[in-house]
Amino acid sequence: MAHRTERQARATIHVGGEWLEAVSGATREILDPADARPFAVVAEGDEKDAERAVAAARQAFDHGPWPGTPVAERAALLRRVAGLLVRDRERLGLLESRDAGKTVEEGRVDIDCVADAFRYFADLVAAEAPGRVVDAGTPDVHSVVVHEPVGVCALITPWNYPLLQASWKIAPALAAGNTFVIKPSEITPMTTIALIELLAEAGLPAGVAGLVTGPGHTVGATLAEHPDVDLVSFTGGLASGTKVAQAAAPTVKKVALELGGKNPNVVFADACATEEGFDTAVDQALNAAFIHSGQVCSAGSRLIVEEPLRERFVTELARRAEKIRLGRGTGEGVECGPLVSEQQRAKVEAYVASALAEGAVLRCGGKRPSPAENRPESGYFYEPTVLDACHREMRVVREEVFGPVLTVETFRTEEEAVALANDTEYGLAGAVWTTDAGRARRVAGRLRHGTVWINDFHPYLPQAEWGGFGRSGTGRELGPAGLAEYRETKHVYQNLAPKPVRWFAG
């Protein structure tokens, strides 16, 4: 089967079932973050390409077969896509690793999770009742509530989990019977392009799936404001998410926003009373903060540790963080890849500099790896960094760094721990570590975050909703609510014995 490498490389815009170059003819080089060298060229779409893609998706929704395709057939297609993802796991895992800089094992796990999302939404729609009959209080009325697709969906995704974030939108959008146009991050479009090819291979009718590669301020903005788009689902940063919401407002389209996080990892001393407990909590704090070099919306970037435990915990954490093996994602034994771009690394460096200026104490990292340590130097690498003695007024504690930077704050009471953990404008995720079951439930109940882990960090389930409180967003992905985003609800009231009302006498 033909894959993108065999195609005309620049034709990465998918409209009405055709692969096209940008209307302007512009292209963009896609860089490998491990060596800063280009490894692919894609079309650089703009407003015109977005317009063209929306028109095709509108046509496919208004006149094509997909919205009326029986649910069982839609579910079967989603399952075929999952099968193709399993078949192509190695190829796609490698591509994700190269594009986003993650280790190839992380890339493979991402592909497994993408397949899980397709399977989950297939099972969810297949098991549903076709409508909810409502008791109207009289046998003369048949009243039913049904769900219908929203229409044309604009899906805008970030660079850190390019295909996973795409799948959390594409799978429910298709399951519900919508057509869509996706705009992946301009710096990591490769696996989204590959997925659109797989959708066609699985038998999705032409025009249902649209793709425009290109920048946010042109392609993304056009999709968000377009009157023929019925829903925009956006995953990305707070600043861009705010613009998307503003652009969508005049046409009152449905908006779902999955934005950033500043996620607390609260460790009570009792969790570390045994050596095993200590080892587990440190190990998971390391994972929480540094997996994918911290470029994770739910990264546990704020360690909030009970004061008597702090020195021992942070010393061990820094010792282990220093040993994390950086390198190209495909390298043998590599545990962490580079940051995604020079711009991202510069942002991280600026945060670390500001933290040190504000009084943070550097416990490890805080720099690019030096060549003398036989670590890579041409890619966008940055050492895992632990900043001790942080406090809530520091920018590095308040704002999303999105890099391998962990800040350390301390508390003395449960009340203080909760107050610190909730002291953020975000509210995506957080964790509490304790062996006291009552405390675990109390703290979990009080945390104002969309996901709360007790004695764990990072796992999610496709059947459980994912999303944020506060400025981490609106709406939910995954779970039944993640499907509901892509639907309109309609009440059909049928009078079985119509008679005149005689409200008006004349």
Query: Residue numbers of the site for ligand NAD (CB under 6 A)?
Result: 156-161, 165, 183, 185-186, 215-217, 220-221, 224, 235-237, 240, 243-244, 258-261, 297, 400, 402, 428, 468, 472-473
Q: What is the CA radius of gyration of the chain?
A: 24
Residue placing its CB nearer to ligand NAD in the complex, 243 or 328:
243
Residue placing its CB nearer to ligand NAD in the complex, 116 or 258:
258
Is beta strand 264-267 parallel, antiparallel or unpaired with respect to 429-433?
parallel
Residue placing its CB nearer to ligand NAD in the complex, 45 or 236:
236
Residue 278 belongs to what H/E stretch? helix 275-290
Question: Helices 89-100 and 162-175 meet at what angle, rounded to 10?
Answer: 130
3-state DSSP assignment of residue 399: coil
Edge-first strand listing for the sheet containing 179-183: 18-20, 13-15, 209-211, 179-183, 152-156, 231-235, 254-258, 473-474
What distance in Å separates the CA atoms of residue 482 and residue 153, rounded to the nearest whole number?
14
- 403-416: b (≥16 Cβ within 10 Å) or e: bbbbbbbbbeebee
At residue 169's C-alpha, the angle toward residues 22 and 16, to 5°, is 35
**Residue 90 C-beta: closest distance to ligand NAD, Å:** 24
**Residue 247 C-beta: closest distance to ligand NAD, Å:** 6
Catalytic residue among 258, 349, 383, 409: 258
**Residue 148 C-beta: closest distance to ligand NAD, Å:** 26
What distance in Å separates the CA atoms of residue 34 and residue 39, rounded to the nearest whole number?
11
Residue placing its CB nearer to ligand NAD in the complex, 79 or 292:
292
305, two tokens? 């540790």
* Contact predicate 373/310, CB 8 Å: no
Q: For 306, what's the count of Cα atoms within 13 Å in the CB-facing half-sphere? A: 17
Residue placing its CB nearer to ligand NAD in the complex, 157 or 385:
157
Residue placing its CB nearer to ligand NAD in the complex, 169 or 310:
169
* Helix, strand, coil distribution of the chain in percent, nearest 5: 45, 20, 35
**Residue 428 C-beta: closest distance to ligand NAD, Å:** 6
3-state SS of 117-148 is HHHHHHHHHHCCCCCEEECCCCCCEEEEEEEE
Active site residue 258: yes
**Residue 189 C-beta: closest distance to ligand NAD, Å:** 9
**Residue 111 C-beta: closest distance to ligand NAD, Å:** 17
**Residue 165 C-beta: closest distance to ligand NAD, Å:** 5
Residue placing its CB nearer to ligand NAD in the complex, 399 or 416:
399
Is beta strand 429-433 parallel, antiparallel or unpaired with respect to 451-454?
parallel
What distance in Å separates the CA atoms of residue 69 and residue 2, rounded to the nearest whole number?
27
Residue 146 CB partners (closer than 8 Å, separation 6+): 130, 131, 132, 489, 490, 492
Q: Which residues are catalytic?
A: 258
